[in-house]
Structure 1
Amino acid sequence: MEYLIFGSAVIIILILLFILMQKQLTNLREQLRRSLENSDQILSQRIETSGKVISDVQKDLVRLEESNKRIYEVGKDISSLQDILRAPKLRGTIGEFLLSDLLSQILPDRHFSLSYQFKSGERVDAIIRLGSRLVPVDSKFPLENFRGLLEAKSDQDKRSYQKRFQRDVKGHIDSIARKYILPDEGTYNFALMYIPAENVYYEIMVKKDIWSEEKSIVDYSMDKKVIPVSPNTFYVYLQTILLGLKGLEIERDAQEIVSTLGSLRGDFSRFKKDFDLTRRHLYNATRCYDSADRKLQRFGDKLEQLEIPPKAGVESDSSQVELEAASTKREIETDEQGERSI
């Protein structure tokens, strides 16, 4: 009877544990389902956002083109832009202002800094934080000889100013490469040279030099890993960088999802081990219960045989019954010893 009570208690406890683990498994499945749904929603939102950004870029380009037309019309009313920008310091201040305004319009504040100082003491006009590294951006540009090139009348004067302008630009490119391309301080192995005027950018990037046999400014800048950008091309660069930053955010979110799934996989593995252990315990408890039940049944049968009164003419059978009872007792003792040894 004690074995039966004990076995019943064990079975009840194991059933409760099984129900508890079933509930935990259900909760884990629900959490996994919610995580996957959230992941799908996040990815869908990111893709939708990227489509909207591309559409916004197209709209902004249209607005920028309209703005350029208005600026061109306003520029017709200015007698001489060169006179306004004759002072290098004023010209540099205006370039920095245009660069700052363009950066603040497109990039979040945390992804760029103005007037960034390196450990060497050199200070660049702006840096763009792209991932774990920096993209230096210089907005100072030599325009004195370019102004002379525009005002030159004869081919000889144009040739002279052209050579001086190329020498100034190449020297400025060397200065940018030497001062700001510093991979040891976290920069990429290239820098951007911001040219605040489209006509100057055209002179450098598009117009061919018919007088000079030296390497072109474009080839020279590419060799030095200094990329010239105008307001229009820099706008496109920044939009591309912005898409890249959003891609990095999506990648970080995906890594977090993968990490969560890995954690859930570990929890599920541990739960499976506990579930297998419980199954083994239930199996052993069932075996013990069945064995005890059989012993109890045999013992009850023997007791019933001993309690039957002897009939006339069969007194000799009592000795046989006693022998069978002794044999049953020995069998029970043998089974108990075998179970203890297990």
Structure 2
Amino acid sequence: MEALSDRLDQAVAAQNERLGRTLAESAERTQESARRIHERLAVIDAARANIEALGGQVTTLAGILGNKQARGAFGEVQLRDMLADRLPAEGWAWQHGLSNGTRCDALIRLPFPPGPIAIDSKFPLEAWQALRRAPDEAARAAAERRMAGDIRKHVDDVARKYVCPGETAEGALIFLPSEALHADLHALFGPLVAEAARRGVYLVSPGTLWAVLGAMRALMRDVRLRSEAQHLRREVARLAEETGRLDRRVASLKRHFAEMQTDVQGIEITAQKITAAGARIEAVELAEAPVARAAE
């Protein structure tokens, strides 16, 4: 009985040790899975915050200079103010150097397609000013010929320098600092403007550039939203993977508990049988004791 009891105690102790070790390992795996889930949830919250920040981003209108007939740096100042007002800081670069060795006044960083778009703001104003100040028809005709030559040469320079296949978009922009200049070019030199457009060089005024920059800003925001959405989708997939792993580990833990319960029930049955056997043995000894005394 003592040996049987010792073996029973050893079996119960071994079962308890194995059960404790299994429960500890399962608890560690469960804690690790929970920690990873919390990390993924933190990343998802950060991505959601970025999306909300992008959705609620609002730009303010800055003081745009009026349509003055100026020259030199006037176009650059006006262009830079408009870019700063309409586009995020990372969406454009000022005085950007291209791989062909040229430097454009501004580069709008759009994704392919269409790709980054270079902007030139140094349109020659001398011929246009001479045209507006022409005292007679002869001077006006001479100013128109000069202006047509200036337009064609400037378009050639922009198309050659600022359109780089694989690096920039297939077109470039020429910023005209005056709505009046833009209107005169389309009214007096329509064929030249159309020819420039066929070569991928587009002449924009402050008003048209304002609308173009609004469309570009929407495109940039859409690209960033798609990027954040893809990142969020990847994180959700990882979270689903961790959740599946947690489900499998919980199922394994349930299986271990079921096995433990079966073993405990088996131990209880064995103990009951041993107790019953001991009771039967004790009953036999009590029955044989009077017979032995009578024989003496």
TM over 0.5: yes
- Cα distance change of structure 1 residues 179 and 35 upon mapping to structure 2, 3 Å threshold: closer
The Cα of 1:164 is off from its aligned counterpart by 4.2
Instruction: Report the equivalent of 1:291.
Output: 266
Instruction: Please give the TM-score of this superposition, normalised by the length of structure 2.
Output: 0.73
Instruction: Report the equivalent of 1:127.
Output: 107
231-240 or 137-146: which moved more?
231-240
Supply the distance in 2 between the matched residues of 1:304 and 1:173 (Cα, whole angstroms): 113
Supply the distance in 1 between the matched residues of 2:96 and 2:23 (Cα, whole angstroms): 67
Describe the superposition over 1:145-172 as per-residue Cα deviations: whole angstroms up to 9, x where unpaired: 3334323455565455435433431332
Supply the distance in 1 between the matched residues of 2:204 and 2:225 (Cα, whole angstroms): 28
Check whether the contact 1:182–1:188 (CA below 8 A) recurs between aligned residues.
yes
Check whether the contact 2:47–2:231 (CA below 8 A) recurs between aligned residues.
no
For 1:227-266, list aligned pairs within 5 A: 227-266=202-241
Q: Is 2:27 the partner of 1:47?
A: no
Check whether the contact 1:126–1:137 (CA below 8 A) recurs between aligned residues.
yes
The Cα of 1:180 is off from its aligned counterpart by 0.8
Instruction: Report the equivalent of 2:5.
Output: none
Instruction: Give the residue type in structure 2 aligned to 1:279.
Output: K
Classify the secondary structure of the residue corresponding to 2:109: strand
Report which structure shows greater RCO (CA 8 Å, sep ≥6).
2
Supply the distance in 1 between the matched residues of 2:53 and 2:256 (Cα, whole angstroms): 48
The Cα of 1:297 is off from its aligned counterpart by 2.9
Supply the distance in 1 between the matched residues of 2:197 and 2:284 (Cα, whole angstroms): 117
Instruction: Give the residue type in structure 2 aligned to 1:112.
Output: W
Instruction: Report the equivalent of 1:226.
Output: 201
Instruction: Report the equivalent of 1:181.
Output: 163
For 1:89-128, list aligned pairs within 5 A: 91-128=71-108
Q: 2:255 aligns with which of 280, 285, 290?
A: 280
The Cα of 1:176 is off from its aligned counterpart by 1.0
- Cα distance change of structure 1 residues 139 and 40 upon mapping to structure 2, 3 Å threshold: closer
Check whether the contact 1:198–1:230 (CA below 8 A) recurs between aligned residues.
yes
Root-mean-square deviation (CA, aligned residues, Å) is 3.7
Instruction: Give the residue type in structure 2 aligned to 1:198.
Output: E
Check whether the contact 2:30–2:246 (CA below 8 A) recurs between aligned residues.
no
Q: Identity of paired residues, percent?
A: 19
243-252 or 116-125: which moved more?
243-252
The Cα of 1:194 is off from its aligned counterpart by 1.0
Supply the distance in 2 between the matched residues of 1:161 and 1:94 (Cα, whole angstroms): 22
Check whether the contact 1:92–1:139 (CA below 8 A) recurs between aligned residues.
no
The Cα of 1:26 is off from its aligned counterpart by 6.4
Check whether the contact 1:193–1:227 (CA below 8 A) recurs between aligned residues.
yes
Return 5+ residue gaps in structure 1 as ranges: 73-80, 86-90, 210-214, 316-342
The Cα of 1:137 is off from its aligned counterpart by 0.8
Instruction: Report the equivalent of 1:77.
Output: none
Classify the secondary structure of the residue corresponding to 1:183: coil
The Cα of 1:25 is off from its aligned counterpart by 6.5
Instruction: Report the equivalent of 2:125.
Output: 143
Supply the distance in 2 between the matched residues of 1:38 and 1:150 (Cα, whole angstroms): 58
Instruction: Report the equivalent of 2:174.
Output: 193
Check whether the contact 1:193–1:229 (CA below 8 A) recurs between aligned residues.
yes
Instruction: Please give the TM-score of this superposition, normalised by the length of structure 1.
Output: 0.65
Number of residue pairs the alignment of both structures matches: 278
Instruction: Report the equivalent of 1:165.
Output: 147
Instruction: Report the equivalent of 1:203.
Output: 184
Check whether the contact 1:201–1:229 (CA below 8 A) recurs between aligned residues.
yes
Return 5+ residue gaps in structure 2 as ranges: 1-7, 292-296
Classify the secondary structure of the residue corresponding to 2:180: helix
